[in-house]
Structure 1
Amino acid sequence: MNLSSDTNNNNDTNIQLNILNTEFSRRIIFIFLIILFVPSIFCSFCILYFTIRKQQIRKHLKNHIILCIFFVNFLLATCELPLTLSSLQRGDVPLRSEIFCKYWFSAINAFFMCSLQLNAFLSIERYLLIFHSRTLHRYKIILHYIPMIFLVSYPIPYSFSFTMFYPCKNKLDYNMAGCGSVCYIFESAIGITDWVVCILGPLLIIIIANVLLIVQVYQHKRQMLRKHIWKKKHRMLRELVFVSGLECISWSPVSLISGIDIISTTKTSFEPEFKWVLFGFIYLAILFSPLVSIIALPELKIEITKWTQKQCACNNNGIHPMMINPSSLERT
């Protein structure tokens, strides 16, 4: 009897610890995201201001994909992230409705898919810019504009069609941001295909393309030095690593855990904690997107530096109070 009671007490303690750990991890992620959210939104509006104001930033071909990634992440941060923050704070979704959850999951999936695939395309296009710049500029409609428009436009109908119309019964989790996952994700064939198309495939393209590009750039270092273009090519490579590196850091754990979740038929006791931590990792790329954009866009960095120096100069040369000589008052 004592052994059984001890076992029951241990089980109760484990359950309580799991609940506390789930709530604790949720609170920690909430605080972490809130700390990053405010400066990220402020920087995003600054980037929008300078991007709209200065045509120099928008006109360069090499900036288009980076700006697209920034705008997608900006929409995520302003339109979707507040819902996630609300779920983190409350421990519950804002609206317990299947329709709401379907639209929310569709939007999350579409935006994340768009951001990842644009990063993968950026890695391929940056190779063309470094080694085949003339070819890219000559056929820019086919090699640049059409793929960019396609990658921005098709994730929304793709995600909504599967979420809304795939014939399966959803088992939604109203205690998770995005209501957990919709049912088609757990269908063996379509779930694995979706995982490869949306997450694993773009990540592999980013990693492989970046590694090959780094190797090839440094192999051609001497040739580039003779042509006085090494500095320019190295800067373009560095910009790519800044943008794509953060995306890989954010999505690699998600890719691994989601792949295990799709393939495995059993759930672990730590799954809630893992899901909250994964949400924190995902939003790293989104909230650091303004900083990465400033680093990756030299023209934007120059404009912000000029504006900052101008504001500092105005403050230093501001109007100071005029000192009145008392003797002059007496003469009057």
Structure 2
Amino acid sequence: MTNSNGTAFENTEIYWPRTLRFWLLLIFDIPSIICSLFVLYHLLINRASRHALHNHTVIVLLSIALCFQLTDIPWYLDFIRKGSVRPQIQARCLIWWLVNLGFYNTVSLILAWTSIERHILVFHDQWTSTRKKRFFVHYLPLIVLILYSITYYTIVIFFPPCKHDYKYKLPVCAASPCHLFHPVLGVWEMGVHGCLSTIIVTFFSIALLLRVIHHKRRRHRVFRWKVYRKMIIQLLSISALYLLLNFPIMLFSVARFLGLPNHVGVQAQQITFFLTYWVMFLLPFVILSSLPGLRNKLYMIGLLKRQRRSTVTITMRRLINVQKNPLHCAYIG
């Protein structure tokens, strides 16, 4: 989709030097992978954490982010290193689109559901008091969302009602599968997966905060703040990260839909698109910061390592002193 007055988003590349992008992605991806593995391991290995309902969506979000970090980012780095998408086959672009677009928007959909579900877990916990209720209220919506996302993106990317244009000279093969320009699927993608998800996250996150403040002020109502504090802070932290980095690209999508010319603000749109990678990079750290038990454990591990290093250093110094002056040390002993 080119324009006589300029170049459209899908035909351009962000003007930031490739070397700069390479190091930015690499520097953030490695610690992000380590953090994702660390948090996932401790959420899954601990029985209480594994069975806590509010952790299930977090585990799914982290798993998707980890897959993204292990596939999309290395492919982007490989693109920069080789100067084009390699191998230059359609399957590479299709899978990359599935990861880049499908995984990212799946995170959006699940986060939207999470922002709704937290209201249930905090204020209507009786809705999940039995196994049957938990299945219909908690597990089923999450399963449906995951299956829907897998099915939808598999169909629109691998079996589209239009013809893809594979641009091997651009990152993520231009990140523009043809369904984004389809009169129906394009509106659905932008309206439901983009705008509606963002609106739901915004509205229900703010509503949760206001409801918590309201309940705490009503002294005659018992509100177990200490019990729900973790899951409330966790949602608000993740939502803030998502909205901060996703809102600008959503505004561009809406503006394009409302008639903003294709060539206007292309580089700004490219920058906002590139910055959405940091949703996946920072997500594990935000989740880690919302889990005080894990934070303390990580702190203790670091403290023990420092103590061990100090002990080893002192021991080595004593050994060196003994070797230098054995008679003096023997006399002192």
TM-score, L = length of structure 2: 0.82
Trace 1:171-210 onto structure 2 (pairs within 5 A). 171-180=165-174, 181-210=176-205
Contact persistence 1:113–1:198 (CA under 8 A)? yes
CA 1:158–1:22 in 2, change beyond 3 Å: closer, same or farther? Answer: closer
Tell me the equivalent position of 1:61.
Answer: 53
Alignment partner of 1:281 is 2:275: yes
Trace 1:276-315 onto structure 2 (pairs within 5 A). 276-315=270-309
Mapped to 2, the partners of 1:170 and 1:262 lie a distance apart of 20
Alignment partner of 1:152 is 2:153: no
Deviation at 1:297, TM superposition (A): 2.6
Deviation at 1:47, TM superposition (A): 2.3
Q: Name which of 56, 63, 73 aligns with 1:81.
A: 73
Q: Residue type matched to 1:175 in 2?
A: K
Q: Name which of 71, 90, 93 aligns with 2:85.
A: 93
Mapped to 2, the partners of 1:31 and 1:261 lie a distance apart of 31
- Structure 1: runs of 5 or more not aligned: 1-13
Identity among equivalent positions (%) equals 23
SS at match of 2:218: helix
Mapped to 2, the partners of 1:303 and 1:132 lie a distance apart of 31
SS at match of 1:24: coil
Contact persistence 1:243–1:296 (CA under 8 A)? no
Mapped to 2, the partners of 1:77 and 1:103 lie a distance apart of 14
Tell me the equivalent position of 2:158.
Answer: 164
Deviation at 1:270, TM superposition (A): 5.0
Q: Residue type matched to 1:326 in 2?
A: L
Alignment partner of 1:130 is 2:131: no
Deviation at 1:266, TM superposition (A): 4.6
Q: Residue type matched to 1:75 in 2?
A: C
CA 1:64–1:151 in 2, change beyond 3 Å: closer, same or farther? Answer: same
Q: Residue type matched to 1:62 in 2?
A: H
Tell me the equivalent position of 2:112.
Answer: 120
Deviation at 1:196, TM superposition (A): 1.8
Mapped to 2, the partners of 1:142 and 1:195 lie a distance apart of 28
Aligned CA RMSD, in angstroms, stands at: 3.0
Deviation at 1:287, TM superposition (A): 0.4
Q: Name which of 231, 236, 239 aligns with 2:231.
A: 236
Residues 184-226 of structure 1 deviation map (CA, whole Å, 9 limit, x = unaligned): 2101222101222222111111001112112221111223686
Trace 1:259-274 onto structure 2 (pairs within 5 A). 259-262=254-257, 264=259, 266-268=261-263, 270-271=265-266, 273-274=267-268
Deviation at 1:127, TM superposition (A): 1.0
Q: Residue type matched to 2:297 in 1?
A: E
- Structure 2: runs of 5 or more not aligned: 1-5
CA 1:94–1:250 in 2, change beyond 3 Å: closer, same or farther? Answer: farther
Mapped to 2, the partners of 1:265 and 1:228 lie a distance apart of 48
Contact persistence 2:162–2:179 (CA under 8 A)? yes
Tell me the equivalent position of 1:326.
Answer: 327
Residues 17-62 of structure 1 deviation map (CA, whole Å, 9 limit, x = unaligned): xx99944355544433233222222222322443344333322211
Contact persistence 1:120–1:205 (CA under 8 A)? yes
Tell me the equivalent position of 1:8.
Answer: none
CA 1:137–1:296 in 2, change beyond 3 Å: closer, same or farther? Answer: farther
Contact persistence 2:215–2:221 (CA under 8 A)? no
Contact persistence 2:216–2:223 (CA under 8 A)? no
Contact persistence 2:40–2:59 (CA under 8 A)? no
Tell me the equivalent position of 1:42.
Answer: 34
Mapped to 2, the partners of 1:38 and 1:190 lie a distance apart of 35
Contact persistence 1:33–1:280 (CA under 8 A)? no
Deviation at 1:280, TM superposition (A): 2.3
Mapped to 1, the partners of 2:232 and 2:80 lie a distance apart of 37
Deviation at 1:69, TM superposition (A): 0.7
Tell me the equivalent position of 2:3.
Answer: none
SS at match of 1:220: helix
TM-score, L = length of structure 1: 0.82
CA 1:137–1:290 in 2, change beyond 3 Å: closer, same or farther? Answer: same
